[in-house]
Amino acid sequence: MTIVFWVLAVTTISGGLAAVLLKNTVHCALAVTGAFAGLALLFLQLDAQFAGFAQILVYIGAVAILVVFAILLTRGSETPESGVFSRTWFAGLCIAAGVFAVMAWAILNSVSALPHETVAPDVSVLQIGNALMGRYVLPLEIVALLLTAAMIGAVIVAMHEKGDVK
């Protein structure tokens, strides 16, 4: 439990809280980008360099930009007069608090059966490449197919309909 961990944890959680609580949608998108960055740094802190940089590339580089474009295309930055929270916000808050209470109780009351590893695993990109092309080649191909299908599907769904006035 180093000080770096606590700093990163506070950054991530405050980014997530700001993304959920702020009124302006653009501010929410910026705050969630901060939360994604904090999570990527937590991955790096866990010696998972490859996953950490993949997180930075995919989330901060692509998903955050996609969210900002969606906000611009839907004029979502205008705060509605009826408020930003739905009518059933109290039930949603209770459900989330209950889920967190159950998970925190389970984590704090369980004894770890795993040996406490203190030696950092030495993972090179060469090993990851070999694993991706060897043991995990089938999941890799399936993910490639899924990404292609999802990109084509997203373009078709968001495309202008025929006779649609711009």
Partner 1 sequence: MTPLAGYLLVAALVFAIGLAGALTRRNAILVLIGIELMLNAANLNLIAFWRYGPHPEALTGMMFAVFSIAVAAAEAAVGLGLVISIYRHARTTDLDEMNRMKG
Q: Is the dihedral of CA 111, 115, 117, 123 positive or negative?
A: negative
38: exposed, middle or buried (Cβ count in 10 Å: 0-12, 13-18, 19+):
buried
> In whole angstroms, what is the distance from residue 60 CA to residue 36 CA?
7
> In whole angstroms, what is the distance from residue 160 CA to residue 103 CA?
44
> In whole angstroms, what is the distance from residue 99 CA to residue 56 CA?
28
Q: Shortest distance, CB of residue 120 to partner 1, whole angstroms? A: 8
> In whole angstroms, what is the distance from residue 21 CA to residue 11 CA?
15
Q: Shortest distance, CB of residue 36 to partner 1, whole angstroms? A: 7
Tell me which H or E stretch contains 135: none
Q: Shortest distance, CB of residue 162 to partner 1, whole angstroms? A: 13
Q: Shortest distance, CB of residue 26 to partner 1, whole angstroms? A: 10
Q: Shortest distance, CB of residue 44 to partner 1, whole angstroms? A: 10
Tell me which H or E stretch contains 133: helix 125-133
